Structure 1
Amino acid sequence: MLAAAALVLLGPSVAPTAAAPPSSAGGSVAGRTVRAIAPADQDAAFAKRRQDAETKGLIDADGRVTGSQRLGLRGWPHDDTGYAIRPRDLAFLGLTWQQVEWWRRYQAPLGTNPRQFKDMSSDLFKALCSACERPQDYDVRLQGSWAFFFSGRHKNFPTEAELAGQPAALERLRTWMGSTPPDERPARRPFETLYKLGALDEKGLPVGPSDGDFHIASDVMVAEARQKWDELKDAGKLSDEDIRKGFIHQKYHFVNRTAVREAFPKLEKWAVAWKEKLGRGVAPSLFPSSGPPDKTQVGNGVSTHFRDSDWIVKFSPAR
């Protein structure tokens, strides 16, 4: 259903051509000159913007908006280079000032309202531990653009060159950004950018709404999942892909999803139910209690290790 809706956004004249890979080359798109730009992490203008934003206290050393959940407030949304969300961005993304305030006050991640988020969180803890006599055994944190407003540095803001094969998405980008020079645009994608553009993924399929990512850290759950993994493996019920990736994913370090799904059917049921209610995927990932490892010095530096600025989902008694 979501894919069909995205196809309507694209319009009947758009052929399913996947987005081109990022490029720093310039050229002409539909008769207009596209200026060559460096990748965001190498762009001098972005580097200066980030330095200025850090100096002013708008973002922290990790590129996150300053503030804290403990105080119940954080600053206006900026990306990790200091780009501040503007009214035109909110209008294009279909976000209201009220939604931004809920986000700033940790009352609801983007794409939800406070009532939904409270109910979803309560239902999650019921799925994890029923009466939850020891809620401290379950550390739950939000990840992704619904929690941070912008995607990480591995998801740069799209350019005209990258959307050259997608006329409808390209025109929407131009309508949104107008004549704004590339180095005055966001460096990263705000929440649901590709979905709102009506863009296509690398397989030529419409990009859907952003998922809601939950990171669950619990040694108790990991032990149960390990037991289920061993049972499934002994019974020959794991796929070749499961075996190849292992119990702990080698790249992303979460516990095997098949083992988690089989060990915790209530968690799977919770995710499916809230996907239907929100109209977006809900993606729980399981880690040991120490959380994901710190990978800031590995590869592109994207890391979801525990930080003081994380959005922690609080346990509340069942409603």
Structure 2
Amino acid sequence: MGMTPTLYQQFGTEMLEAFTRDGIDPSQVDIRLKGTGAGFFSGLHKTLPLQESLTDRPEAARRMNEWFGDSRERPVRRPYDAMWRLGLESEPSDFDLDINSTAIVRAAREHWKTTHPDRYPGDFMGGHGYLDKQALAGTLPALAAWSKKWEEELGRPISLGVFESSGPFDATVLGRALSSHFKENDWVIHRPDRPMAWQTPKSRVPEPPTAGTADRPRPSAAAARSRSTTSTRKPNQPKRDPAKDPGSKQQPPQHRRPDGPETGRGRSR
């Protein structure tokens, strides 16, 4: 959401280049887009306000009424950018990126152990399973610069969460409905076995024609029919001369209709 295909390709390509400049090989990184940027609707815990709850926000109530009118068929969850467009939030929806890489976590530990040995005496991941923001910015300055540039380019915040390569913890085992662990329907921007969506064998982008075939003329329909209706000469069989053997003259196929005024009627171009 919020990007053209061209921008999306540039967005992902420059992100991988930033990892490389920071000394992280893209083959060691799994990147997934989460939240409304990928799924359009927010999580179950964020509901769209009801009209009657906006009595103290007249402008938001007006926009809500302009949006839905008298219809009571409204989404329960918040659509992408909805709160911003209603004037209830000061920023549009963000891009929530999960970056899963044990290599980055190890690099961050080494960086802060060397430069700030007393900064993280306890849990380096902050107790929530992902890398502290200051640790991330200090370890990956090129990625931090990339994030700032693209926030300005897109006009919306970018949230970076760095996890171990195994990904976020599966909270469903604790009975929670919300969990950001790896799922089959995740929007994968990049992963080691699928390096960028448009550069993988699974891509829907058609391959360019191979050398030598692009300019080769396609046979006409008449030529194709002719080939399909003429008999095939056996190997080593001498070619007959129609002048010497009138019986060898090819006859038009019996199913072919002669050209007439009806030919081509109803044929779409």
1:229 CA displacement? 3.1
Q: Residue deviations 1:109-161, cap 9 Å, x none?
A: x1111111100100100111249995331100001101111111111111124
Confirm whether residue 208 of structure 1 aligns to residue 91 of structure 2: yes
CA gap of 1:232–1:162, structure 2 versus 1, over 3 A, is farther
- Map of 1:247-258 to 2, 5 A cutoff? 247-251=124-128, 253-258=129-134
- Aligned position for 2:180: 304
CA distance in 2 between counterparts of 1:141 and 1:308 reads: 12
Separation (CA, whole Å) in 2 of partners of 1:188 and 1:165: 21
Equivalent in the alignment of 1:175: 66
C-alpha separation in 2, matches of 1:168 and 1:268: 36
Change (3 A) 1:214 1:270: same
Q: Residue in 2 aligned with 1:144?
A: 35
Q: Is 2:113 the counterpart of 1:230?
A: yes
SS of residue matched to 2:8: helix
Contact kept, 8 Å, 1:126 with 1:132, in 2: the verdict is: no
TM-score (ref. length: structure 2): 0.66
Q: Residue deviations 1:263-307, cap 9 Å, x none?
A: 000010000011111111122210000000111254752111001
Provide the rounded CA distance (Å) in 2 between the counterparts of 1:176 and 1:147: 23
CA distance in structure 2 between the partners assigned to 1:197 and 1:312 by the alignment: 30
2:40 aligned partner, one-letter code: F
1:196 aligns with 2:85: yes
1:221 corresponds to which residue? 104
Q: Are the equivalent residues in 1 in contact too, given 2:32–2:99 (CA < 8 A)?
A: yes
For 1:180, give the aligned amino acid.
Answer: S
| Mapping 1:253-268, distance limit 5 Å | 253-268=129-144
Q: Deviation per CA, 1:25-78, whole angstroms, max 9, x where unpaired?
A: xxxxxxxxxxxxxxxxxxxxxxxxxxxxxxxxxxxxxxxxxxxxxxxxxxxxxx
- Structure 1 stretch displaced more, 143-152 or 124-133: 124-133
SS of residue paired to 1:162 = helix
Cα distance between partner residues in 2 of 1:243 and 1:177: 53
Q: Secondary structure at the match of 2:96?
A: strand
Structure number with bigger Rg: 2
Residue 163 (structure 2) pairs with residue 287 (structure 1): yes
Shift of the alpha carbon at 1:173? 1.1
Q: Which runs of 5+ in 1 are unaligned?
A: 1-109, 200-205
Hey, what's the Cα distance between the residues in 2 that align with 1:249 and 1:295?
17
Q: 1:112 to 1:154 in 2, by over 3 A?
A: same
Q: Tell me the TM-score normalised to structure 1 length.
A: 0.56
Indicate conservation of the 8 Å contact 1:154/1:300, yes or no. Answer: no
Shift in CA distance, 160/124, structure 1 to aligned 2, threshold 3 Å: same
Aligned mates of 1:299, 1:157 — CA distance in 2: 24
- Percent identical: 33
Supply the distance in 1 between the matched residues of 2:38 and 2:25 (Cα, whole angstroms): 26
Over the aligned positions, Cα root-mean-square deviation in angstroms equals: 2.4
| 1:171 partner amino acid | R
Q: Secondary structure at the match of 1:296?
A: helix
Amino acid at match of 1:111: G
Residue 249 (structure 1) shift: 3.4
Provide the residue aligned with 1:278 in structure 2: 154
Unaligned runs of 5+ in 2: 200-269
Give the counterpart letter for 2:133 in structure 1: R
Check whether the contact 1:248–1:255 (CA below 8 A) recurs between aligned residues.
yes
CA distance in structure 2 between the partners assigned to 1:229 and 1:283 by the alignment: 21
Asked if 2 retains the 8 angstrom alpha-carbon contact of 1:249 and 1:255, the reply is yes
Task: Give the 3-state SS of the residue equivalent to 2:182 in structure 1.
Answer: coil
